[in-house]
Amino acid sequence: MKKVLRKRVELGLDDPCWRDERFRFSYVFEKSNLKESLRLSGLIYPPWGIEEKGSLVLVSGWKRVLLLQELGWSTIPVEVKKERDIISIWQQLILENKSHRELSLVDKAFILKKVMAQGVDQEKIIQNFCGWLDIPPQMSWVERYVRITELDKASLEFIYQKKLPEYIIRFWLEYSAEERQLLIPWLVPLSQNKIKEVLEWLKEIALRDNLTPEQIVADFNRSSSTEEVSKSLAPPAEAFRDYLRQKRYPAYIQALARYKSILKEIGWPEDIELSPFPYFEKDEFQVSFTFSNEKEFRKKVDQLVKLNKTSGIKKIFFFQKND
């Protein structure tokens, strides 16, 4: 194993060397826990960098440096390694971070951007960096990640906070900067799957009805009561998603309403779930229920047998055919 010589120096946190961000990749991160740890325990593991033309280039420890500046520290110790090979430096930096945390998608995007800016050729990026960063070894994937770094700060924080995977970010990139700013408050309270649905439905409705996302959001706001909108953001976010679903699939929503009405009409037990095939595309249903003993099991089976003897049960199977 190659031995890397190092020394330790004390540097002021107002030193001009901190302006060189060629190895910085953590532009969005959770500050509070690390900041509190630094405040209570101090700097346990010093940052490290390399020396270039008599000045330090910080490699690892950017988050600690930035937070210590906020905490008012004047100087910090920094280890200086005698390392010159760019790929070796990045390898140490990436693997060091991966040893104690999972790199975020935003982290990976900025790493690839910095690596490309430093002139590392495509072959080495595919052979080395894609493996270190756990992404497919193709330049098309590298370019997708680099494109993420062009997003505004609010979008980067949103991606980081919700841990959005690359396939959802593809939908996100289809929106303009103004549209993204408009949508973030509606998306933050939602799960990843629901975020994907909203982004897909909104784009499809906009194309079908020749509307902009801004117009669709405005239409929703007009259709919502002032009292509802003034509540916490989570319920309106769910209401907005439901509004988009109704706009995107009006026939399905009408069929679902009729279906629920029929279940209520025939007295279907609430503790026995009857699930139709998705979007009623087939005349198939699934019955499911829970029980903890034989008595409960027999009771629910008896309920189903009793329902089966009524004429109303036929409405479940023919409600669509009567349209």
Residues 22-79: tens digit of each pLDDT: 999 999 999 999 999 999 999 999 999 999 888 899 999 999 999 999 999 999 999 9
What does the pLDDT look like over 236-293, one tens digit per residue? 899 999 999 999 998 887 888 888 888 888 889 989 998 888 877 787 889 999 999 9
Q: Taking 80 as the threshold, does the pLDDT of residue 303 lie above it?
A: yes
**pLDDT value, residue 1:** 40
- 8 Å CB contact between 259 and 276: yes
Q: Which of 226, 220, 274, 218 is nearest to 246 (CA)?
A: 220
Structure letter (DSSP) for residue 278: G
Tell me the DSSP string of 42-66.
--SS--EEEEETTEEEEEE-HHHHH
Tell which wins on pLDDT, 109 or 222.
109
Among 105, 126, 215, 220, residue whose Cα is nearest residue 168: 105
Report the percentage of the chain scoring pLDDT > 90. Answer: 72
Span 304-320, average pLDDT = 80
**13 touches 75 (CB < 8 A):** yes
pLDDT at site 115: 97
Task: State the pLDDT at residue 138.
Answer: 96
pLDDT higher than 50, residue 144: yes
Cα–Cα distances in angstroms (integers) from residue 234 to residues 194, 198, 209, 252, 307, in the given order: 12, 14, 27, 25, 39
pLDDT tens across 162-213, in order?
999 999 999 999 999 999 999 999 999 999 999 999 999 999 999 999 999 9
What is the rounded CA–CA span in Å between residue 99 and residue 283? 52
Q: Are 132 and 103 in contact (CB under 8 A)?
A: no
* Contact yes or no for 169/139 (Cβ under 8 A): no
- pLDDT for the residue 232: 47
**pLDDT reported for residue 5:** 55
Beta-carbon count within 10 A of 105 CB: 19
pLDDT 10s digits, 118-136:
999 999 999 999 999 999 9
Region of residue 267 (phi > 0: left; psi between -120 and 50: alpha; otherwise: beta): left
177 and 152 Cβ atoms separated by less than 8 Å: yes
Enter the pTM of the model. Answer: 0.80
pLDDT at 211: 95
